[in-house]
Amino acid sequence: MSNDRLQSVLELSCEERFDYFLDVVGEEREVWILINSEEHFLKLHSDDDDIEYLPVWPDSELAAAYAGNDTDLKPRGIPLPQFLKKWLPGLKQDGIEVGVIPAPDMSVWITEPSELEQDLRDELSRF
C-alpha cells in the first residue's frame, strides 16, 4: 500500500473506515492485529466510555503504520475463520470490544464482537 493510499484510508471517517475494513477483510479473508514480543495482543482503553477494545486492521500495512516506531509491536494476521470462531467469542466472553482501524487522531469505530461477527458474515454472503 502506498503512503498516499495509507493516508487516504486514515483520513476517512470512522464509518467509512469500518466499511473499508469489511470490504477488504471480506475479500482477503484475514484480520490483522498487533502483538508484542511476548505474543500478547495489543489492547486499548477508551477513556471516553471506559471500554477496553482490540484494535483490528484489514491489512498489515495499516497495522504497522499504527504501531509506528514502537519496535515491540508487529502485525499478526488472523485467518478470518479463526477470527470468527475463536477470537470474537473469546473477546465477547472477556468483555472486550473491537476497535476497527484506529486513526492517528484517536478516532475509532468500536463495536461489540457479536455485531462485528454479523457484519462480517453479511459481507461474506455477498461473495
Please list, in sequence order, all residues whose beta carbon lies within 8 angstroms of the beta carbon of residue 24, skipping any fewer than 6 positions away. 58, 59
- pTM score of the predicted model: 0.92
CA angle, residues 83, 92, 68, in degrees to nearest 5 = 60
Number of structural domains (the chain) is 1
Question: What would the grid cell of residue 125 be?
Answer: 454472503
**Residues 26-80: tens digit of each pLDDT:** 999 999 999 999 999 999 888 777 899 999 999 999 999 999 888 899 999 999 9
Q: For residue range 8-30, what is the model confidence (pLDDT) as tens digits?
A: 999 999 999 999 999 999 999 99
Res 32: pLDDT: 98
Residue 15: which domain range?
A: 3-125
CATH classification of the domain holding 21: 3.40.1350.90
The reported pLDDT for the residue numbered 41 is 92
Q: How confident is the model at residue 1 (pLDDT cuts 50, 70, 90)?
A: low
- Res 66: pLDDT: 92
